[in-house]
Amino acid sequence: MSRPVLILDFGSQYTQLIARRVRELGVYAEIYPFNRPQSEIEAFGAGAIILSGGPNSVTSPNAPTIGQWIFDQGVPVLGICYGLQLTCHLLGGRVAASDDREYGPAEIRLRSSASDSKILQGLSQVQGVWMSHGDRVEALPEGFSILAETDSTPYAMIGCEHRQVYGVQFHPEVHHTPEGLDLLRNFCLSIAGLSNDWTMADFLDRKADEIRSQVGSDRVICGLSGGVDSSVVAALLQRAIGDQLTCIFVDHGMLRQGEREQVKTLFGSHFQSDLRVIDAESEFLSALEGVTDPEQKRKIIGRLFVEVFEREAKELAGAKWLAQGTLYPDVIESVSPLGGPSVTIKSHHNVGGLPERMGLGLVEPLRELFKDEVRLLGRELGLPDHLVQRHPFPGPGLAVRCPGLITRSRLETLRAADHILIEELYSTGWYHRCWQALCVLLPVRSVGVMGDERTYEEVLSVRAVASTDGMTADWVHLPHDVLGKIASRIVNEVRGVNRVMYDITSKPPGTIEWE
């Protein structure tokens, strides 16, 4: 594989996006916090370096910074927003704090005197960009020249060709900068000369080799949940080590309709994996009997899941490894400009402590990947589209969509309604436009009329959200006729529901799941 790009994070909300864009070009990229020791940064062996944006002013005393040595690595450097200002500041230019922050769409004009610059090749003379800056560059460092300007910013793009150091005052990584990817391509491929050989097919071969040398002839356990990440991990391990893999699927009784059968068909029959399906529905439901507090529910499910999993895993003599679907966003050390402790909103269901308790080593083959890359890898491994494109589903399953008491019959109601919702979103083409869509069965009854009969049943809330990472979300403006069809099918076909509501709360202040 060609040398990777190193992105140094100075706290921008877009840092991950830079890495994703570079990877879209076929060049592997990783993110380090700006304050990693020089020795580690040098040991990374970058073929090009990008300095990210950030919310600070380079003129403030506590501004994140780095040594000048970063420009002496013999590889091209690109500073984005804060990265441009830091470049000017470190290399002897003048940057002043300014009260006028410019943020939003702007138009840049390329300087005709700079038309030979490799970073500008193929770019339009005048183009829209997404601008963002607080500080103002007042004088360029020696050897630098202006490559592009806007009406209000003379230093929209700068460069020093012989040192191969560049800076842009806008965000090339966001969609609002339509030619941003071309600019990054010029930087990574033409200027740094990197090859675009980071493909999922290559990744798959490389990872399979790595897994084989990590685990040797040992047995590996993989917890399957039916979701995208664990399915991709299992399929990858199956490809790499075949019958050294045992998959464990715990049916806690709070899964979606048909989920258990789908897992059995795909992994048991199609991939011919050693699949253990554990029917633990009764165990979970009796532990949850009488419990209505959301945190308590989550804790009970989390604890029991680990117990059940551990019990099964202990029976597998000789297992030495546990495979997990940890993704790159969970691995990146974040640079938080705000810092401070955060409160627990919801205890997440995870099996993080399991490997140490059981004395197992960890296999985490997706640690380098973003979610969209995991989906691509899933395709490469031959997983079906409906699985690869599946909405996220929480570990505690339908339990967090069942406020009040969790009973077998309420879960059945919820499962049937969820199935209709997903079916309708699929058939109307809305499924892929939602990050997630779900039903919540409210412990509230209302009076209704069906035929000549009075009904007194529970209320169901439908929720569909758009998001890129689940951290923030907007409710989706589903067309009225789609909502109408969902509501009437649910009320007509699902026993126990006589009223349907649509949840129009964004996150924040709401969370995606209700509990």
Please report, as ranges, the residues that interact with ligand XMP according to CB under 6 A: 346, 348-349, 392, 394-396, 436, 470, 507, 511-513
Q: What φ, ψ does residue 427 adopt, rounded to 5°?
A: -70, -20
* Residues composing the chain: 515
Catalytic residue among 89, 133, 160, 173: 173
> Which residues are bridge partners to 462 per DSSP?
439, 502
Residue whose C-alpha is closest to residue 465's, from 384, 391, 377: 391
Residue 342: CB minimum distance to ligand XMP, A: 13
SS3 state of residue 511: coil
Name the residue among 223, 232, 256, 202 with its Cα closest to residue 414. Answer: 256
Report residue 121 as tokens: 């090749």
Task: Give the nearest distance from C-beta 470 to ligand XMP in angstroms.
Answer: 4
Return d(Cα 263, Cα 278) in angstroms, integer: 12
- Dist. CA 405–CA 360, nearest whole Å: 36
Which lies closer to ligand XMP via its Cβ, residue 149 or residue 364?
A: 364
Q: Which is nearer to ligand XMP, 42 or 293 (CB)?
A: 293
Look up tokens 């019990």; give the residue.
311
**Which of 81, 88, 434, 439 does the annotation list as catalytic?**
81
Whether 81 is a known active-site residue: answer: yes
173 is catalytic: yes
53 or 394: CB nearest ligand XMP: 394
**Dihedral over alpha carbons 92, 155, 71, 51 (to 10 degrees):** 130
Q: What is the CA radius of gyration of the chain?
A: 26
Residue nearer to ligand XMP on the CB measure, 458 or 513: 513
Set 133, 171, 252, 391: catalytic member: 171
* Residue 326 Cβ vs ligand XMP, minimum distance, rounded to whole Å: 12
Q: Which is nearer to ligand XMP, 47 or 395 (CB)?
A: 395
Q: From the CB of 355, what's the least distance to ligand XMP, in Å?
A: 17
**Structure tokens that stand for 381 in this block:** 């491994």
- Distance between CA atoms of 83 and 360, rounded to whole angstroms? 42
- In the complex, the smallest distance separating the C-beta of residue 392 from ligand XMP, rounded to whole angstroms, is 4
Whether 222 is catalytic is: no
Nearer to ligand XMP, 58 or 322 (CB): 322
Q: How far is the CB of 244 from ligand XMP (least distance, A)?
A: 26
Distance CA 241, CA 334 (A): 34
Active-site annotation, residues: 81, 171, 173
